[in-house]
Amino acid sequence: MVETLEKWAHGLDAIVEVSGRIAAWSGFALVVVMATNVLLRYLFHTGSVAMQELEWHLMSPLTLLCIAYTIKHEGHVQVDIFYGYLPRLVQHAINLFSALSILTISLIIVKLSLPYVMQSWRIGEGSPDPGGLPYRFILKALIPAGFVLLALQSLAWVLRTVQPFFGGSDATSGGTVSINAVE
């Protein structure tokens, strides 16, 4: 049972890993676009609405699609004062509650954001600014996509967190929300 849970968790981790690595390249593209915009503005006294909009179009995948990747690699910031002093069973219960909460919230956001994306797609929403970028629905589609990835990472975390309850190892890596300040 524990091996099956870990196998599923590892598979979910792989999806988040690949998606995060691909989305992280939008950070490089964002730097290139911003540098180009600055050079155009200050050296050539010109600019483009589309290039300005492209900056936040590139910020969206960087932010939304990399949330799960960041949690997977424990790159988020947390401070625990009491967690490290709690018994292991209580720590596992807190981790399970946290993982299930994040999973639930992620699924709710996906459900609520889909009509928003579909409406944008149906009307072929683009930029309201002259010279702006078309296909704004693609940008909006990153909202449910990012939270699907977060849900997958949370599910992997749930699968790892329940392992000790079935006689598995005590390790809860790959998405633990707790980083002990008292080690």
- Which tokens go with 97? 């509650």
According to the model, what pLDDT value does residue 79 have?
65
**Beta-bridge partner residues of 180:** 80
Residue 76: how many other CB atoms lie within 10 Å: 12
Instruction: Note the pTM of the prediction, 2 decimals.
Output: 0.79
Mean pLDDT of 92-112: 93
Percent of the chain whose pLDDT exceeds 90: 32
**Which of 124, 113, 171 has its CA nearest to residue 146?**
113
| Averaged confidence pLDDT in the chain | 84
Residue 93 is which amino acid?
A: A
Q: What Å distances lie between residue 57 and 19, 34, 109, 118, 120, CA to CA? A: 17, 12, 20, 18, 15
Does the pLDDT value for residue 172 go beyond 60?
no
Top-confidence residue, 80 or 153: 153
Residue 50 is which amino acid?
A: A
Domain range annotation of the chain: 2-166
* pLDDT tens-digit readout, 12-39: 888 888 888 888 888 899 999 999 999 9
